[in-house]
Amino acid sequence: MRTSLGRKLSLNTLALIVFAFSVFPVYWMVLTAFKPTKDIQAETPSFFPTNITFAHFGTAVNADGFWLFWRNSALVAVTAVLLSLVVACLAAYAVARMKWRGRQAFILMVFIAQMTPWEALLIPMYVIARDTDMLDKLTMLTLIYFMVTLPFTIVTLRGFLKAIPIELEEAAQVDGCNQFQAFRRIVFPLLAPGLLSTSLFGFITAWNEFAFANLLIIKNQDQRTLPVWLSSFSNTFGTDWGATMAAATLFMLPVLLIFLVLQGRVTAGVAAGAVKG
Amino acid sequence: MAVTHVETPETPVAPHAGPPAAGRRGPALPVRLLPYLLIAPTVLGTAYLLVYPLIRNLVISFQKFGIAQLIRGGADFVGFDNYRQILSDRMFWSVVLRTFVFTAINVTLIMVLATLVALLIGALGKGMRLAVMGGLVVAWAIPVIAATTVFQWLFQSQLGVVNWVLVALGFEQFDGYAWFANGTSTFAIIVVLIVWQSVPFAALTLYAAMTTVPKELHESAQIDGAGGVKTFTLITFPILRPMFGLIFCLEVIWVFKCFVQIWAISQGGPGNATLTLPVYAYQVAQSLNRYDLGAAISMVTVLILAVALLAYFRQMFKEEGEL
Amino acid sequence: MKFRSLAVAAVAALSLTAVAACGSSDGDSDNAASGPTTIDVWLMKGSVSDDFLKRFTDDFAAKHPDIKANVQIQEWNGIGPKIIGALASKDAPDVIEVGNTQVAQYAASGGVKDLTDKKADLKGDDWIEGLAGPGNYEGKQYGIPYYAANRVVIYRKDLFQAAGVTPPKTRDEWLATSAKLNTGGNQGIYLPGQNFYVLSGFIWDEGGDLAVKEGDAWKGALSTPEALKGMDFYKQIQALGKGPKDSDEAKPTQTDVFAQGKVAQMIAVPGAAELIAQANPALKDKLGFFPIPGKTADKPGAVFTGGSDLIIPEASDGQDAAYTFIKELAGEQWQTDLAKTMKYVPNRKALAGSVGSDEGVAAMAAGAANGKATPNSPNWAAVEAKNPIKEYQTKVLTGGDPAAAAKAADEIITQALNTK
């Protein structure tokens, strides 16, 4: 590829701007987490850490139930995402690779499911959970998050599947793979970037959800999740923002971790796909 | 490319199915049933976790259902009263209009920026690419409550970073400027926040999709003398059109029903400057505890959204038909 | 109204006790018939300190071995839907602390037990009005007064001294004092534009109100001449500092702003002083308190009485035990202790003297004499949820026409209060 130095430079400058814009608010959050309370609302904002304190992280980590709620959230989010990935993979494959009666109706259903205004279903969900003794249970939350992320997962996976040339699969089958093997060896690696962004999306959605977690976990406080806990640093006078931001930083880490772990595989998958393609 | 697939359920194109497929009995019943088996979990899950609550919601929208009925039960049916009340309210229609404007502005910005960012990522070297992608993921991963808080801080009238920077740059009129006192500027801040939060997903997904476009196509286009813009319009976009359509559709849906950010920042205010349908529904349902009206509004919302996206669905089905 | 805690740091540890207490309740179902009745109690974050809770529950366990009380601490964020969810559930908590202005809403729903017949037993004639009134809905007492607090002015003694001023007694003095302090990079007073409880006080001082009931219907009253005068004063005093015109006391947290050391006065409940001292220990001994000045020196300004009531859900299966719990917590011994520990106004007038000599509490008690409540309608909570008063304040402070803005806000209030 021919790349002149000037082009490269301007590209990198652009990239830096994009990077700065996306990161700045997050940087501000993390910075706040390290600032002493006194400096959080300073008259002249300081853009660099000067007076670092770990006190807010101490408050957050030592706040009661931190690990418990962390575990609850992780459990709920991971289960919901895995469940929806598996279920969606099956459905997306059926939609993208097979022809059957009722397929259009099914796709339409998935899209309409995608439009559900979930906040509006708080009350019906509550009533259903109450009448089936599912209040105060993480299972109910997991199922709801599964459902919230499922339509999206199907839709995107279908898009990714469609973008993968069917010939690759056919070639593999000619080479003696059965349909499942062809999927696993050829399609799956190419699907990896799609799986990454969809699972991340699902995870973030489930990980962040507040309204259902607040309403459906009523009496059993041990079943609360992190977003509900995150609001526990407020009192009459407002909020202990240092601790909230520290908690939010810790809260964000798993998502980044997942990204970093998956990132390597994705690039590998893309590369492998490119070679084979 | 996506439109060239010719496919039948029993995939093998060549008749020599070969030893591994020996067990198969041609287009037998299990094969024809396979797609239905594959979608069964989705259908069952949706039936219980979505259709059923939606039906309950629909029922509530035909009842008088407030906090008292929630607690004691025994809601009376009132026919279309709730719908009549909403649809005859001029406020409702102004909210609908605002929601469309809000969606149009946001989605346009998101699509344009996301495409540019995705192209940018593709053109970068490995280190820079990872940095930008990492930055995007960070923006995407920040908890909503933290993101909205930080945005509110940035735009605080006193002690806010934005005003501080503007004043430092010589715009004295922004000293103590009250961003949230004004409908337009509050609206703009929410747009910035939503675009900022939405671009990462769209950009990363588009980038991931772009990596599936065979490099040879790009290279041959470049050999033919096509520039960046041409390569995009002639190769990338046509190939990925379904993907663009999909993301566009998803963003429309999300922005249209976007709730948390607006509620946290302005609760629909000042005045009704940022009152969109979902915020309005929540306001009615949770603040006034009129769950019946809220349910009716949400049903109308789904309907409006479905109608608005009808064109997209038709297009999509046309493509499906060619499949 | 949300009236939350004074001792934030203590609170984190507090819920630990609560959770630990819950942890041992596994065997409940087995011995429900023969063993002690278990009740679940929801107290709001910050209503009690860790230490107080332990003293209270120990004493309660000793006095009432037949009742096992699990106290859980709830967060303020999202508490509205959660309480409704609890009232509607089959297995509701047995005692719930509810913000005083929220009681009517729950009482109207029919999910709360009527406790009118217990009023005499609890010496209800002596209850302070700011708690008993909102706890009463259509002549029946649903909410039992728990504790109250109201706003005072917290000021910097050193800055007052440097400027050669003393705490003002009247509004005019207050304006003059604040103007004097508002120099040299210091703010005379930090008053965010949207503190509508402070505005309410000013309006009550003028003889106005937020809304009035005419026959069966409510009517927003911000556009009355009295209320407009109140807003006018708010605008004058607000201008003597850099309080943001488009935000309330939580955004940014006003104690954090005060802790910067450049603010001479702010309006908050006395407990806020502890947070300031926590954020900036150098200010610890420099903080003083005085009641919000009234129009004349003989009467402090009217204040909004914030606080909480205790309710028993209809769905509770241990209502007798729940009442026993309330009787203890709302009784003389623990009210006195609570008021001292948490710097609250106790629920009965007769106990006011027992609070002690704390400067902040004294200022609060002086103001409390002129305490008032928001309109007692089940829909008032809806008005606060999307607050037209706050928007009205911002509009006026940023140069809008007060009369027109007040009228617009009145329309929203009227509509919200009359929604059936």
- Interatomic CA distance for residues A199 and C365, integer angstroms: 57
Residues 6+ apart with CB under 8 A from B180: B152, B155, B157, B186, B189, B265, B266, B270, C246, C247, C394
Q: Which domain holds residue A118?
A: 64-272
Mean of the per-residue pLDDT values of chain A = 82
Q: Are A34 and A56 in contact (CB under 8 A)?
A: yes
The residue with greater pLDDT, A78 or A259, is A78
CA angle at residue B113 from B112 to B118, to 5 degrees? Answer: 105
Is the minimum CB–CB distance between A238 and chain C shorter than 8 Å? Answer: yes
- Interatomic CA distance for residues C222 and C224, integer angstroms: 6
Within C196-342, residue ranges assigned H as helices are 196-205, 225-238, 254-257, 272-279, 319-329, 332-342
CATH number of the domain where residue A182 is located = 1.10.3720.10
Q: Decide if B269 and C382 are in contact by the 8 Å CB cutoff.
A: no
Would residue A206 count as lying in a domain? yes
- CA-based nearest residue in chain A for residue B204: A197
- Interatomic CA distance for residues B219 and C204, integer angstroms: 77
- Interatomic CA distance for residues A159 and A197, integer angstroms: 12
Q: Which residues pair with C348 in a beta bridge?
A: C127
The residue with greater pLDDT, C293 or C91, is C293
- Interatomic CA distance for residues B19 and B315, integer angstroms: 41
DSSP C361-380: HHHHHHHHTTEE-----TTH
DSSP B56-91: HHHHHHTEE-BHHHHHH--PEE-TTHHHHHHHT-HH
- CA-based nearest residue in chain B for residue C400: B181
Within A5-121, residue ranges assigned H as helices are 5-34, 37-40, 55-62, 66-97, 103-114
- Interatomic CA distance for residues C376 and C209, integer angstroms: 12
- Interatomic CA distance for residues B72 and C87, integer angstroms: 9
Is the minimum CB–CB distance between B133 and chain A shorter than 8 Å? Answer: yes
Please tell me the total count of domains within chain A. Answer: 2
- For A224-243, the pLDDT digits (tens) are 888 887 766 665 555 678 88
Would residue A215 count as lying in a domain? yes
- For C129-177, the pLDDT digits (tens) are 888 988 999 999 999 999 998 999 999 999 999 999 999 999 999 999 9
β-pair type (C136-137, C287-290): unpaired
Domain match, A162 and A80 both = yes
Token pair 């010939």 in the structure block, residue: A167
β-pair type (B63-64, C211-214): unpaired
Nearest to B139 among A26, A111, A165 (CB): A26
Is the minimum CB–CB distance between A44 and chain C shorter than 8 Å? Answer: no
Contacts with C257 from chain A: Cβ below 8 Å: 41
- For A250-277, the pLDDT digits (tens) are 888 887 787 777 665 554 444 333 333 2
- For B192-222, the pLDDT digits (tens) are 999 999 998 889 888 877 887 777 777 777 7
pLDDT of A171 strictly over 60: yes
Q: What pLDDT is recorded for position C34?
A: 54
Give the distance from residue B209's alpha carbon to the nearest chain A alpha carbon, in angstroms: 7
The 10 Å CB-count burial string (b at 16+, else e) for C110-143 is ebbbebeebbeebebeebbebbbbbbbbeeebbb
Domains of chain B from N-terminus onward: 76-322 (1.10.3720.10)
Mean pLDDT to the nearest integer, B171-184: 86
Domain match, A87 and A39 both = no
Domain match, A80 and A13 both = no
Q: Decide if A99 and B32 are in contact by the 8 Å CB cutoff.
A: no
Q: Are B124 and A11 in contact (CB under 8 A)?
A: yes
Element (DSSP H or E) covering residue A125 = helix A122-131
Q: What pLDDT is recorded for position C64?
A: 94
CA distances from A121 to A129, A201, A207, B58, C382 (A): 12, 21, 19, 10, 20
pLDDT of A182 strictly over 90: no
Altogether, the residues listed in chain B come to a count of 323
List the one residue out of B204, B202, B205, B187 whose CA is nearest residue B105: B187
- Interatomic CA distance for residues B70 and B66, integer angstroms: 6
- For B230-245, the pLDDT digits (tens) are 888 888 888 888 788 8
Contacts with C255 from chain A: Cβ below 8 Å: 237-238
pLDDT of C203 strictly over 60: yes
Would residue A80 count as lying in a domain? yes
List the one residue out of B279, B299, B313, B287 whose CA is nearest residue B98: B279
Domain match, A8 and A135 both = no
Integer-rounded Cα Rg, in Å, for chain A is: 23
Domain match, A34 and A87 both = no
- For B249-273, the pLDDT digits (tens) are 889 988 998 888 898 888 887 878 8
Contacts with C279 from chain A: Cβ below 8 Å: 36-38
Distance, C-alpha C364 to centroid of its chain: 12
Q: Which residues pair with C211 in a beta bridge?
A: C220
Would residue A277 count as lying in a domain? no
Would residue A209 count as lying in a domain? yes
Domain match, A44 and A79 both = no
CA angle at residue C66 from C64 to C68, to 5 degrees? Answer: 85
Contacts with C252 from chain B: Cβ below 8 Å: 153, 156, 159
Main-chain phi, psi angles of A51, to 5 degrees? -110, 75
pLDDT of A43 strictly over 80: no
Altogether, the residues listed in chain C come to a count of 420
Alpha-carbon dihedral angle through residues C125, C127, C130, C136, given to the nearest 10 degrees = -60
Contacts with C23 from chain A: Cβ below 8 Å: 222
Element (DSSP H or E) covering residue C213 = strand C211-214
Q: Decide if B287 and C419 are in contact by the 8 Å CB cutoff.
A: no
CA angle at residue B271 from B267 to B276, to 5 degrees? Answer: 50
Element (DSSP H or E) covering residue A266 = helix A241-276
The residue with greater pLDDT, C113 or A51, is C113
From edge to edge, which strands make up the β-sheet containing C95-99? C67-74, C37-44, C95-99, C306-311, C144-149
pLDDT class of B13 with cuts at 50, 70, 90: very low
- Interatomic CA distance for residues C201 and C370, integer angstroms: 9
Would residue A73 count as lying in a domain? yes
Distance, C-alpha A100 to centroid of its chain: 32
Element (DSSP H or E) covering residue C136 = strand C136-137
Give the distance from residue C394's alpha carbon to the nearest chain B alpha carbon, in angstroms: 6
Nearest to B178 among C257, C398, C416 (CB): C398
Is the minimum CB–CB distance between A122 and chain C shorter than 8 Å? Answer: yes
List the one residue out of C369, C406, C349, C334 whose CA is nearest residue C58: C334
Domain match, A40 and A95 both = no
Q: What pLDDT is recorded for position B28?
A: 64
Q: Is the ipTM of this complex over 0.90?
A: no
CA distances from B153 to A29, A40, A43, B159 (A): 10, 10, 12, 8
Token pair 């007769």 in the structure block, residue: C350
Q: What pLDDT is recorded for position C22?
A: 36
Residue C348 carries which DSSP code? B
Q: What pLDDT is recorded for position C4?
A: 35
Mean pLDDT to the nearest integer, C408-415: 92
Would residue A39 count as lying in a domain? yes
Mean pLDDT to the nearest integer, B133-148: 82
- For B183-192, the pLDDT digits (tens) are 899 999 999 9
Domain match, A148 and A17 both = no
Q: What pLDDT is recorded for position C151?
A: 92
Would residue A59 count as lying in a domain? no
Domain match, A72 and A170 both = yes
pLDDT of C220 strictly over 80: yes
- Interatomic CA distance for residues B303 and B256, integer angstroms: 12
Domain match, A47 and A69 both = no
Is the minimum CB–CB distance between C217 and chain A shorter than 8 Å? Answer: no
- Interatomic CA distance for residues A249 and B78, integer angstroms: 49
Domain match, A82 and A34 both = no
Q: What pLDDT is recorded for position B116?
A: 94
Token pair 């349902």 in the structure block, residue: B285
Domain match, A212 and A267 both = yes
